[in-house]
Amino acid sequence: MKTEQSQPFVGIDVSKATLDLCVLPSGEQWSCQNSASGINSLVKRLAALKPALIVLEATGGLQMPVTAALAECQLPVAVVNPRQVRDFAKALGILAKTDAIDARVLARFAEAVRPEARPLRDAQALELEALMARRRQLVEMCTAEKNRLQTAPKPVQKDLKAHITWLEKRLADFNGDIGRLIKSSPLWREKDALLRSVPGVGPVLSTTLIGDLPELGALNRHEIAALVGLAPLNRDSGHFRGKRMIWGGRAEVRSVLFMATLSAVRCNPVIRPFYRHLKAAGKPFKVRMTACMRKLLVILNSMAKTNTHWRLQEDASG
Residue pair 178/128 in contact by the 8 Å Cβ criterion: yes
Digit-coded pLDDT (tens) for 169-224 = 999 999 999 999 999 988 899 999 999 999 999 999 999 999 888 889 988 999 89
Q: Where in the chain is the domain with CATH 1.10.287?
A: 124-184
Q: What is the DSSP letter of 24?
A: E
Residues in the chain, pLDDT under 50: 1, 3-4, 236, 240, 242, 312-318
At residue 141, the pLDDT reads: 96
In this structure, which topology does domain 9-113 adopt according to CATH? Nucleotidyltransferase; domain 5 (3.30.420)
**pLDDT confidence of residue 236:** 46
Beta strands, E only, the chain: 9-14, 18-24, 28-33, 53-57, 77-80, 236-237, 240-241
Whether the Cβ atoms of residue 18 and residue 103 lie closer than 8 Å to each other: no
Report pLDDT digits (tens) over 115-125. 888 766 677 88
Q: Helix axis angle, 251-267 relative to 271-280, nearest 10°?
A: 90
pLDDT for position 52: 93
- Count of CB atoms situated within 10 Å of the CB of 192: 20
pTM: 0.69
Determine which helix (DSSP H) or strand (DSSP E) holds 195, and give its type and residue range: helix 186-195
* 292, 274 Cβ separation under 8 angstroms: yes
Q: What share of the chain is helix, strand, coil (3-state, %, to 5)?
A: 60, 10, 30
Architecture of the domain delimited by 124-184: Orthogonal Bundle (1.10)
Residues 6+ apart with CB under 8 A from 233: 244, 245, 246, 247
Inter-residue contact 297 to 268 (CB < 8 Å): no
Beta strands, E only, 134-244: 236-237, 240-241
- Listed in order, the ranges of the chain carrying CATH 3.30.420.40 are 9-113
Using CA atoms, how far apart are residues 256 and 275, in angstroms rounded to an integer?
Answer: 18
pLDDT of residue 82: 87
Peptide bond into 25 cis (omega under 30): yes
Q: What pLDDT is recorded for position 316?
A: 39
